Structure 1
Amino acid sequence: MYFFRKKRLFVILIGFIILVGLIGLTLRDREELSTVEEFLQDTVGWLQNVVHIPVEFSTSLISNIEDMKNVYEENQVLKSRLGQYKNLLYEVQELKQDNEELRNVLDKTESITDYQPIQASVIARSPEPAFHQVKISKGKQHGVESNMAVITGNGMIGKVQSAAQFTSTVLLLSGFDRSNRISVDVAIEDKKNVSGFIVGFDEESESLLLELNTYDVKLDGGELVVSSGMGGVFPRSLEIGTIEEVTPDKYGLTQIAHVTPSANLSNSDHVIVVNRLALQPEDEITQEGEE
């Protein structure tokens, strides 16, 4: 029993000496490797390569997915900001147009000295273009009455067709016909003004039809057309538009001029109702006394 125990210790000692020797041999700088070392190194290298390829592929795939996710998120953010920018740009354009309209209305209000201007806003438009109507935010309680002229800072757009207590319906110039005609003057430089009537609207050219009272007058185009004040319905000198061309009527008895409206008939948000009743002297005295 003792012999076998001693023999086992001897074998362990010899094995330990061999192991230390191998470790020392392995750690020593050598240019040549043993066959066993070469086999072990190649085997370990092959296993490392086999493991490295899928690991590298998985890492690259995960990295690409993460990059795609980041690109998608950045794209969503950019789309959101682009939408916000478009909305902001639209709001700025709307505010700019609104501001320009208000300035024109204010300038026109200050220039009307013989009539009482009633400022109003367009609150609704006719869903059917054939009706040629808009609704405004002022009515009888504000002094609005039927047949009062309605203008913008650029020119006349129509007349009050009907007035309720707090709102009114405006018939646009594009809806005028012979039953709603306007007496107008055509300003001709260095010549006597020519008169006529707005009797309709040409949908194709989007121009008012002016029937001239005389046939022999020659118009070159560009002449200003204003209300004449005849008939007592509309004040005089309200700008309506400019003449584009003149053609004879179908009977050859008179001339028809195509007039481009000065104001935007379909897209005005702020208007002025012109009270055709001038301030009476007693009203002026009363107002001065109140001041």
Structure 2
Amino acid sequence: MINNKKLIGILLAGIAIVSLLTYSVINGASNPVTSPANNATAGVGRIFSAPVSMVVRFVDSVDNLINTFEENQHLKQKINQVYELQVRVADLEADNNKMKQELKLTESLSDYTVIHGTVIARNPDQWIESMTIDIGAKDGIEKNMSVMAGNGLIGRVVEVNKTSSKVLLLTSQESNEGKVAASVQAKKGSANGIVSGYDRKTKNYVMTQVSPDVKIEKGDKVITSGLGGVTPSTLLIGTVESAKMDDYGLFQVVKIKPAGEMTDIRFVTVIKRDGRSE
């Protein structure tokens, strides 16, 4: 019996609630019966809406941050590509300038047969000693051929393989094979000697055993004399930087500013021995 009364009470309460809700929908929310319920509902809504809004704003902020990060990475990649392109352009311009130098050199060596090559290896530990070029026996390269780069003589072929060759540089301080018979073209006559060393401090070739009877001045040209029997004559080595008597007062020691490329050697011109070789 008690259970039935409770059940009836629950049903009546449910009917009353449904009636109130129906009345509020039909007659608006400004009646005295539904106002407390609406106020309570609105309060609960406000309580939940604030955190929900914060979460939505946070999600939007994270999304914007992710988009900004992705755009930033994309821009960095574009910038890196621009830098790489600039480096590539600069390298191509350097190659172009070196090729122009070799072309001018070829024009000035019209009396010789020349072979052009590219430097393919240069050991940092032996930077001023030697380098390897990409032409060899199959291209007509032979041992002791003179090698030029830029505008002047830089060395001599000391080892020949089928497709490559080793060049001993005039800057070498470890081998006597790099010595070259040379001649200073002074204003009044010429003076022969031997380019036999390299001054790392001044970056000049050192020419010894030069006759003391010839007045040598700064700017005088130094060329190969051909007297050594290996190197052709009249190849440009450089210009006089200074000249003084040696410690014994017997010969002059001449410092020569190299005419050829010394550091950034990319292309070379090999001189084939011909009728002008001594």
Normalised to the residue count of structure 1, the TM-score between the two structures is: 0.74
Q: Where does structure 1 lack aligned partners over 5 or more consecutive residues? A: 1-11, 28-32, 280-291
Cα shift readout 1:119-171 (whole Å, capped 9, x = no counterpart): 22222223531771122222233322221111124221101112234322111
- Distance of 1:270 and 1:179 partners within structure 2: 22
Equivalent residue for 2:134? Answer: 137
- Distance of 1:79 and 1:21 partners within structure 2: 61
Inter-CA distance 60–131: structure 2 relative to 1 (3 Å threshold): same
Letter in 2 for 1:113: S
Letter in 2 for 1:183: A
Cα shift readout 1:153-199 (whole Å, capped 9, x = no counterpart): 422110111223432211111116655421222334x4333332211
Equivalent residue for 1:186? Answer: 184
Pick from 39, 48, 51 the counterpart of residue 48 of structure 2. 51
- Distance of 2:203 and 2:147 partners within structure 1: 19
- Distance of 1:68 and 1:220 partners within structure 2: 71
Pairing 1:254–2:261 present: no
Does the residue aligned with 1:210 lie in a helix, a strand or coil? strand
Does the residue aligned with 1:174 lie in a helix, a strand or coil? coil
- Distance of 1:21 and 1:44 partners within structure 2: 13
Letter in 2 for 1:185: S
- The aligned runs of 1:1-291 (5 Å cut-off) are 24=27, 37=35, 43-126=40-123, 128-129=125-126, 132-175=129-172, 180-188=178-186, 190-211=187-208, 213-215=210-212, 219=216, 221-278=218-275
Work out whether residues 200 and 210 of structure 1, in 8 Å CA contact, stay in contact via their aligned partners in 2: yes
- Distance of 1:169 and 1:22 partners within structure 2: 101
Cα shift readout 1:15-38 (whole Å, capped 9, x = no counterpart): 979x769964756xxxxx97984x
- Residue 206 (structure 1) shift: 2.6
Q: Where does structure 2 lack aligned partners over 5 or more consecutive residues? A: 1-14
Tell me how many residue pairs correspond in the alignment.
Answer: 259
Letter in 1 for 2:179: R
Work out whether residues 225 and 239 of structure 1, in 8 Å CA contact, stay in contact via their aligned partners in 2: yes
Identity of aligned residues (%): 30
- Distance of 1:253 and 1:212 partners within structure 2: 8
- Residue 45 (structure 1) shift: 4.5
Cα shift readout 1:215-262 (whole Å, capped 9, x = no counterpart): 465555333322222233222222222333345434444333332322
Inter-CA distance 81–43: structure 2 relative to 1 (3 Å threshold): same
Inter-CA distance 47–252: structure 2 relative to 1 (3 Å threshold): farther
Work out whether residues 135 and 170 of structure 1, in 8 Å CA contact, stay in contact via their aligned partners in 2: yes
- Distance of 1:195 and 1:220 partners within structure 2: 15
Cα shift readout 1:23-80 (whole Å, capped 9, x = no counterpart): 64756xxxxx97984x556544433332232122211211121122112211221222
Letter in 2 for 1:241: G
Does the residue aligned with 1:226 lie in a helix, a strand or coil? strand
- Distance of 1:49 and 1:225 partners within structure 2: 96
What root-mean-square deviation, in Å, do the aligned CA atoms of Structure 1 and Structure 2 show? 3.4
